[in-house]
Every structure is written in structure tokens, then in C-alpha cells.
Structure 1
């Protein structure tokens, strides 16, 4: 049977080329796999949720109060919560999305700080960045679907940012969301639902496939220990018989942790917010990975707007489009800043490249400052300190990191001198 299949499908070639691929033995390389496993859990739970969800804003009787009419999307979420394990599936779906975004960010941090974005892996850095962006967009469309008052308010913020684009904003927003943003817009939820379950997952799966195929073709960057074992040789364990059981155990452990989270931590209580209405939820906030954009919008004064050739440039466009795009472009441009011309084989020690390390720390300091600005209204903080920290914080983080790295290198040099002196004394 094996010979018959091999003659037709060339399974032996598949085994030699793919199934024997060597995976580096290092815990940081599992971050990419956690991202992939989270996507798989999201797809599986999403399929089950889609079977019971109704993407419609038509008015139906509220399952909890038959005398009240509510959008069908909202009513279907109530019914899902009442189903056996229905609320559990929603929670698993929610936490899987958060873990996927978190693991993707940590994975990109590893790539950046170890220099794994360098030649010849620039293309995979760009694909990884697009994967992160579309993962976040998919999550945003997902928590708009319950169409409770929180979801409608969130959707209104998204539509408002899109509509803020000068000259073409209204047209783009209506084209994307099926007309003007309104409670009786019958096309809006079906349109967002189509994005969430068809268009965006297709993009994610396509980018994931491209990301993995390029990785298989180019091989992983090797950990530093591999240089000492076999220089410029692939060091690791093969996919079949060794890496696969490790991946399966990791997938089961991760899924178990997600289920544990879901069992004890509730998510998005739609009954508390109630069905969608024309009264927006006050002081609404996005999930943690978009809080920095919300903070920027909070920092920009509402009257910071001007008109050019009939187009209005306002705070929503500056904060939600311009600054967010600049941040994305900066991250995409990371490989362009690299001056090396030779192919990179081994992960670099971050402290050997202090300026790159300091720039990364400064960048995340800036995002943290902006994220804290998102809580300005909750604690009645003045906006001036956040503007000061926007410029001073990254500079302090940059030079502080350079100072720490110099201290680490000085300590290492002193330690090496001591070892050399002890070795010389022992020889005498």
C-alpha cells in the first residue's frame, strides 16, 4: 500500500523535504506555534458559534422578555448563552483571540530583538506584520457582532474613524458598512459578519500559509548555541517523531489553559449592556491591543480640526488614521533600516545591538504611555502630562537602555578579566 501511494503521490519526497524539517530547540520559538494553535481554536469555535448566530438587525422578541423587541443578532447571542456550553464557547473564542494577538506580538518582539527580520527574511517580517494587523481587524469585527449597546457604540467609533478620511470618508464608510451608520441599517451587521467569517479568515489563512511556506524554505534562524555545535548547519529536532509530539502537547496545554480561563472569567455580558439603541455607552474602551489608539484620540483636542480644499482633517483622522498608519509604516520599515548585506543564520544577542534594543524599548514605552492615556477620563487626569511623556518617555527609555547595556557589557568584561586572572594564577 505504501509503495502504491508513493508511486502516485511521492510521499517519500514529502517526508524528505517537509516531515524531516529540523526545528530549533528553544522555548521562544513556540510563540509562533501558539499563535497558530490559537487561530485553529478560533476557527473551530467560530464554526459552532456561526451555526446558532443570526446576522440580522430585524426586530424579534427578546428571549428574556417577550414584550420587548430586540435585534435578531442580539437575541441569537442570548440564545447561544442559554445553550449547553454555548456561553463557554463564546468565552473560549474570546480568550483565544486575546491569546493569538498577545502571542503574535511577543513573536514579533522576538523576531525584532534577535534580528531575525534581516536578509533573507524581510518578506516574512512584512507578512507577519500583515497577519498581526488583520488579526486585530478580525477581532474588532468579532466584538461588533453581538449588537448589544456596547457593540453598537464600538461600531460607531470605527465607522466614525473611517468616515473622518477627508473628501472620501463618508463614501468609504457607507461602502464598507452598507450605508449610513444607523440603528435601522439592515445591511450593517450582515456586512460585518461577512468580513468576520469569510473575508478576513481567508486573508489570515492565506497569509499564514505563505508565512509557513517561506519559513520552511528559508529555515528558522538558529539559536546561538547552534553556532558552537555545527557552524552554518541546521541544528534541531525533526518535525516527525520528535517536534510533532512537543507541538501536540503544547497545543493541548494551551487549549486547557484557555478553557480554564473561560471557566472562571466571564466575557462581554450582553445582558448588562442591553440591545443596541441610540444611546451610546459612556466612556467606552477597546480591548488592550487597541487601547493606545484610543489614548491618542483622548489626547487630541476635539477642536483640533481644519479644512483643506473642502476636506476636513479632524482628531479622528489624525489619531485613528494618520498616527496609526505611521506606527504601522514604521514597523514595516524595520528591515529597511538594516545595513547588513550577508544572509543571517543565527539569532543575535539583543545587547550586542544596543541601538536597536533601545529603539524597541522606546517604541513600546510610547505605546504604553498612549495606552495609559486611554484611562484619562476615568481618573480625571490632565492631558498635558501625557503630551510631555509622549516625547520625553521614549527618549528616557532609549538612553536608559543604552546605559543599562553599557553596564552589562562592563560587568561582562570585568568578569572575563577576573576569569583570565584566575586561570593565569592557576597555571602559575
Structure 2
């Protein structure tokens, strides 16, 4: 009789622990103080998080025949914090390893008595440096005797203000709940055009170093972002219907389309 009861109890366990008790069932979830007393550390807690998430998601799918928006969520503490801590520890370890194995080269000290032939900012500021070189777009007004209303330097500073202001206001314009580019092709195209423009304007900032005609480079600086945005929108728009169905079927058990 004892053997049959034990066998039945072991068969009922569906928590993926194989009877070892690694992942407790729902009614035996330990408190944070009990978790803190464990000596297995981060690896044990991380394993419990992923195993418990897998089991609860599987139970939800088995119980739901047709659910329009049946989303499984987990609390931020300790579930999400444990996962984020594991991922952060991994990437920090990679950075420390690379910094130890491949230390950066330190060049000779700068000579304060001589001016370099080419003066450039750090590479991640090339786009801002390129906006300072938009003097060819600064119009000359005939009413002012064919002189410019603003100096080229002031015009470049205003261009930085406009571009940075547009980047800052985009999150307030796009208030949707989409998390993937295919869900909102328009805003994905806007983002792609911004990325391409940052690259082309950076190339314009170092036009003296590029073997390309300056007029052609100026045209490509403003033409390529629109071309990239159009291609991005067209591609995402064509794949949106099939991709969205496969994505939702994976998460929400939807009926197939008729």
C-alpha cells in the first residue's frame, strides 16, 4: 500500500524536478527569507526561475483552449531580477576578460606645440560634427545683399538642436505597445532612416578623407535615409501578416486563419 501511494505521488509531480524537489509546486513556494538561507547561490535560483517559468507556461497552454490575450507574467522580484542579474554577470565577465586579454593600445602623448593635420572628435560624435558642416544648405538672401541670415556655425548648432529635439520627441509620438519592428512598419522605417542618416552625416563630416566627390556625398547624405526607410517599410509590410500570426500562435494559442 505504501509503495502504491508513493508511486501515485511521484506520478502527479509535473514540476520538471523528477522527484528531487528542486522546483517546489505552487502551494509550497518559499518565501524570500527561505530563499536567502539557501547556500546554492545564484546558479540554483536562476535554474529554478527558468524551470518554474517553463512549467507554469506549459500548464497555462494545456488549460486554455482558445484565449485571446492570455499572457503569463512573472513578478519583478525575484524572478526578473534574478534573470537580469545572471545576464548582467555574464556580460560583465566577458568585458573583464576582453579587457584583460586585449588591452587597448595607448599611443604617444599629444604634442601641445603642434596642431594635428586632421582634427576630428571621437567617432561616436561624427554625426554631430557633420551637422556643423551643413553650410551649403544655409540659404543666401537677396534682400540682404546675397548674404546669409545666419553664420554657418550658428546654422550648424541649430541643426543639432533640431535633430536632437526630433529624436527626443519620437518616443512621445509613438505611444503604441508594439515591441517588434514588424508590428509597426512605419516607426521601424523612421528608426532605420535615423540610423542611416547618422551614418551618412558622419561620412559627410570626414568628407576630406573619403575618395568621393563632395557634391555626390552631399546628395547621398539626404537621399539614402529616405531610400532605406522606404525599403524597410515595404519589407516589413509584406511580411507583417504571416509573421504576426506565427508570433501570436506561439504565445496565445490562436485559431488558424480561414
Where on the TM-score scale, by shorter chain, does this alignment land: which range? 0.5 to 0.7
* Match for residue 236 of structure 1 among 74, 81, 101: 74
- Alignment map for 1:105-120 (pairs within 5 Å): none
Q: Offset at 1:348? A: 4.1
3-state SS of 1:351 partner:
helix
Give the unaligned 5+ runs of structure 2: 1-32, 34-48, 50-66, 250-255
* Match for residue 392 of structure 1 among 188, 209, 223: 223
Aligned residues of 1:305 and 1:314 also touching (Cα < 8 A): no
Number of the residue aligned with 1:96:
none
Aligned residues of 2:181 and 2:236 also touching (Cα < 8 A): no
Number of the residue aligned with 1:20:
none
Answering whether residue 200 of structure 2 is matched by residue 358 of structure 1, we say no
Number of the residue aligned with 1:259:
96
Q: What per-residue deviation string (whole Å, max 9, x for no partner) do you get for residues 55-106 of structure 1?
A: xxxxxxxxxxxxxxxxxxxxxxxxxxxxxxxxxxxxxxxxxxxxxxxxxxxx
Number of the residue aligned with 1:213:
none
Number of the residue aligned with 2:212:
381
| CA–CA separation in structure 1 for the residues paired with 2:85 and 2:240 | 40
Aligned length: 180
TM-score, normalized by length of structure 1?
Answer: 0.35
| CA–CA separation in structure 2 for the residues paired with 1:292 and 1:286 | 10
Structure 1 pair 258–348 and aligned structure 2 pair: CA distance change class (3 A) = closer
CA RMSD of aligned residues (A): 4.0
| CA–CA separation in structure 1 for the residues paired with 2:139 and 2:104 | 36
Number of the residue aligned with 2:168:
332
Which of 1 and 2 has greater Rg?
2
* Match for residue 282 of structure 1 among 92, 117, 125: 117
Q: Offset at 1:410? A: 6.0
Q: Offset at 1:404? A: 0.8
Q: What per-residue deviation string (whole Å, max 9, x for no partner) do you get for residues 337-356 of structure 1?
A: 34x6xxx6x44443232221
Give the unaligned 5+ runs of structure 1: 1-11, 13-24, 26-225, 422-428
3-state SS of 2:121 partner:
coil
Does 1 or 2 have the higher relative contact order (CA < 8 Å, sep 6+)? 1
| CA–CA separation in structure 2 for the residues paired with 1:328 and 1:396 | 22
Number of the residue aligned with 2:159:
323
